[in-house]
Amino acid sequence: MTNPLLDVAGQPAELPRFADIRPEHVTPAIERLLADADAALQQAVSDAVPADYHALSAVLDVAVERLRRGWGAVGHLQAVADTPALRAAYAENLPRVTEFYTRLGADERLYAKYKAVAASPAAAHLPAEQRKALADALRDFVLGGAELQGPARERFAQVQDRLAALSQTFGEHVLDATDGYSLVASAGQLDGVPADVLAATRIDGSEDHKLTLHAPVYMPVMQYATNRALREQLFHAHSTRASELGAPAFDNTATLRELLELRQEEATLLGHASYADVSLVAKMAASPGQVLDFVRDLARRARPFAEADRDEMEAFAARELGLLDVQAWDRAFVSEKLKQARFAFSSDEVKQYFTEPRVLDGLFRLVETLFDVAIRPGSASVWHDSVRYFSVERGGEPIAGFYIDLYARSGKDSGAWMDDVRQRWQRPDGRGLQLPVAHLICNFAPPVGALPALLTHDDVITLFHEFGHGLHHMLTRVDELAVAGIAGVEWDAAELPSQFMENFCWEWDVLSHLSSHVQTGAPLPRALFDKVVAARNFQSGLAMLRHCEYALLDMRLHLEPDAAARVAAIVDEVRAEVSVLAMPAFHRYLNTFTHLFDGGYAAGYYGYAWAEVLSADAFSAFEEAGLFDPATGRRYREAILEVGGSRPALESFVAFRGREPRIDALLRHQGMVPA
């Protein structure tokens, strides 16, 4: 009996037989792949494998990459075509796979072998991309505590375990505190709330509604409910979640304090001054000081625009709504009314112009023009009828491929993402060059009846964003697994290619070709386009300043050695320094800030704006030369997309732009240009 999952892993040139993979294939395949990877690890650290880059790679990378591809296919199917049996098979194998990778990353013998490779005379003659891969591997071992000895090593492991447990607790408290609250409201109290929210919250057999703190209920109530007391009540509940002002069982105050203390201890053990320093080792930003300067500079520039946004909102509230003292629980409501008054258009109207075939075709033509490729339909085994496969070619030769799965359905995770099926790799096992293949996954509303699916403008942006990640993965020319495509790219630069593509969705010359009314075939009217663009920057000053507040708070909490003891004071200091909006004293947003305490964003929140500076500045080169300028497209492709993680992101940026990144384009795109 053949196991299609083992075929996935065993035949690097073939595409996975997704349609044939069944839950019962998972455990036997993963057991086999894990056993092979484990055997490869034992061999790699033995004397049988010399301290030579290629010898080590041929044994270890080949086996680990097979495991990665096989397990990747399982994880992918679990995310896009879940069934109870598949979920059970995934859950059964996840701990074993995690255990293997943890052991691999902490193996002292393997670290010693890599060090011996780096110290060997041959290392100096390795191609640059292999030297970068080797340096990254050594760096990750050091950050994982591989240099520590004796009690420090033991303590480091304890700290890691405790940090993982605390992060999980933090996240669970947020979920439980959110789930633990509800408020019954009569229909009469919900004046202004959209009909779909009313329908979703109605209590069976009753005229009343059950309101919760989950975003699909909380946000529209705050935006639309005319009942001010109700908004205040919900806002209070929302902003005291997981704090000492809410249920004691879910209070995160001590959890986040201990997280900060232990992160500082981890940094000290690793020989760094702060956790912020540790976080930045593998990022593009050079130092915490550089990040602080960046965030404060951005805050200073955004401030006048944020003040104008605030003043406009408050004046509108007083004039049109008779609201003279706008409070925190009024802001979303007032802003929504102001937005409607200023930019009256419905996203439903815009949607009629973006049919899926037209948008996809327009996106492909743009990519073909800019990056000198051809995108052709191909055939492949897929996990759902609506999924398509395309081949990317240059000069008649395939260079990559991708699956595209656009529509929401049950059994599919929400959101949108790019994932790799396999990476570009000059395989050391004699199987030649492996071409990259990507998954592009979205959750758009499926077509209804005979008409094509309609995309909102936000959907179009999402598609371009994920395609940008996909291009980074697929157009790479790097042959080394660990630094090809998106692999090995600094975390705070990884959104450059994705956000770069988003910019095209705000250009008339692009959108007019991407749009075609579902009934009449007419392109998007210019007047409607202008409204969409004007609404883009609605309250962008306030949004930017809020981002700066979070980023500065994150950095200071992870930089100052006594931060754990001064959390509340630092929150107040940052707010006083940055914010232009007063917040009530009960507001405890840090207690639910999962990005920092149960996510990968600790001392990294600034990365959103950081990458946007890069993407906006990169795009401005196209604004200068012409949006479809092939020469600029070629330089962007060669300097940024093709090199992936094989060199520092700053070098790649400078190679493209001829200088270091500047903030001007970001400010201009956001409408924040000083008068």
Q: Up-side HSE of residue 655: CA atoms within 13 Å toward CB? A: 16
Six-digit token string for 551:
């980023």
Rounded-to-integer distance, Cα 31 and Cα 463, Å? 36
CB of 472 to Zn ion, least distance (A): 10
Interface region with Zn ion, contact rule CB under 5 A, candidates 8-16, 145-153, 214-222, 498-506: 498-506
Rounded-to-integer distance, Cα 568 and Cα 590, Å? 9
CB of 485 to Zn ion, least distance (A): 14
Nearer to Zn ion, 80 or 306 (CB): 80
In degrees, rounded to 5, the angle at the alpha carbon of residue 227 between the alpha carbons of residues 225 and 230 is 95
Nearer to Zn ion, 350 or 416 (CB): 416
CB of 465 to Zn ion, least distance (A): 6
Q: Exposed, middle or buried: residue 235 (CB in 10 Å: 0-12, 13-18, 19+)?
A: buried
Nearer to Zn ion, 417 or 589 (CB): 417
Nearer to Zn ion, 251 or 490 (CB): 490
Torsion 80-392-496-274 (CA) sign: positive
List 266, 466, 490, 495, catalytic entry: 466
Nearer to Zn ion, 498 or 615 (CB): 498
| Cβ atoms of 178 and 241 closer than 8 Å | yes
Question: DSSP letter at 514?
Answer: H
Nearer to Zn ion, 170 or 464 (CB): 464
Interface region with Zn ion, contact rule CB under 5 A, candidates 154-162, 393-401, 491-499, 646-654: 491-499
CB of 392 to Zn ion, least distance (A): 20
Task: Name the nearest CA neighbour of 442 among 414, 420, 419.
Answer: 414
CB of 31 to Zn ion, least distance (A): 34
User: What are the phi and psi torsion angles at 393 (to 5°)?
Assistant: -125, 155
Task: Verify binding: residue 540, Zn ion, rule CB under 5 A.
Answer: no
Residue at shortest CB range from Zn ion: 498
Interface region with Zn ion, contact rule CB under 5 A, candidates 112-120, 456-464, 497-505, 655-663: 497-505
Residue 466 annotated as catalytic: yes
CB of 640 to Zn ion, least distance (A): 15
| Cβ atoms of 541 and 308 closer than 8 Å | yes
CB of 635 to Zn ion, least distance (A): 23
Residue 185 corresponds to which amino acid? A
DSSP conformation letters of 366-383: HHHHHHT-EEEEE----S
Task: Name the nearest CA neighbour of 611 among 557, 674, 545, 665.
Answer: 665
In degrees, rounded to 5, the angle at the alpha carbon of residue 509 between the alpha carbons of residues 505 and 511 is 40
Interface region with Zn ion, contact rule CB under 5 A, candidates 321-329, 493-501, 592-600, 649-657: 493-501
Binding mask 186-205 for Zn ion (x = CB under 5 A): --------------------
Task: Verify binding: residue 498, Zn ion, rule CB under 5 A.
Answer: yes
| Beta pairing, strands 397-407 & 437-444 | parallel
Task: Verify binding: residue 615, Zn ion, rule CB under 5 A.
Answer: no
User: What are the phi and psi torsion angles at 41 (to 5°)?
Assistant: -60, -45
Nearer to Zn ion, 498 or 652 (CB): 498
Residue 53 corresponds to which amino acid? Y
Nearer to Zn ion, 30 or 493 (CB): 493
Interface region with Zn ion, contact rule CB under 5 A, candidates 96-104, 492-500, 628-636, 664-672: 492-500
CB of 670 to Zn ion, least distance (A): 18
Q: Up-side HSE of residue 206: CA atoms within 13 Å toward CB? A: 12
Interface region with Zn ion, contact rule CB under 5 A, candidates 56-64, 179-187, 490-498, 645-653: 490-498
User: What are the phi and psi torsion angles at 303 (to 5°)?
Assistant: -55, -50
Six-digit token string for 340:
């409607």
Neighbours of 187 (CB within 10 A): 13
Torsion 336-465-418-494 (CA) sign: negative
**Residues binding Zn ion (CB under 5 A):** 498
Catalytic residues: 466
